[in-house]
Amino acid sequence: MTNLQLASRLIKKASDIQPCPVCKADLKILSEFVEKKIQGKHQSLKRLKKIDYVNEITSLAISSMSIVAPLVRMTGIKAPELYEKILSDNFEANRQVKAFLVRARREFSTDLIAQDRDYATVAWIIDSFIKATSFKLGLDPQLFYAYDKIIRFGYKTHLLEIMARIITGMKG
């Protein structure tokens, strides 16, 4: 088994146990992209760009938490019990997802990334998923609630969308 085949299988395993439905679908697309790339089948980068775009929105929301978290703590906002249940129910699965993704990321060597821009994009996306999973593993219900509200506000106002489009445009 090659490094890329192993990476594809690890990404697939991560998608199989991913508790977030959107992340699950994106990881499945990522795994399929790598598998088809290994087989030499030409494919459109549009699907990867969509995943990269969604990950940029997530990264922006995570970054905003460094500003919002102290304010949330000071105000003493209480999260509904649902947020504690979601975090608790998904903790072990998220831990395993992160472990699979870290192992998959190791398979994308610097040489491979330098040789093929598609693999550089895949590695970047895996890094984003690792960052998001690590973030979720470190949240408490209060901050998870605030994070959810930021994401929802960002989607309603299109602020996150505009910023993510700018960032992905500058990268590509």
pLDDT for 153? 78
Helix (H, G, I), strand (E, B) or coil at 19: coil
pLDDT for 160? 63
pLDDT for 136? 92
Q: Which of the residues in the chain have pLDDT under 50? A: none
pLDDT for 98? 98
pLDDT for 30? 93
Query: Can you give the pTM of this predicted structure?
Result: 0.85
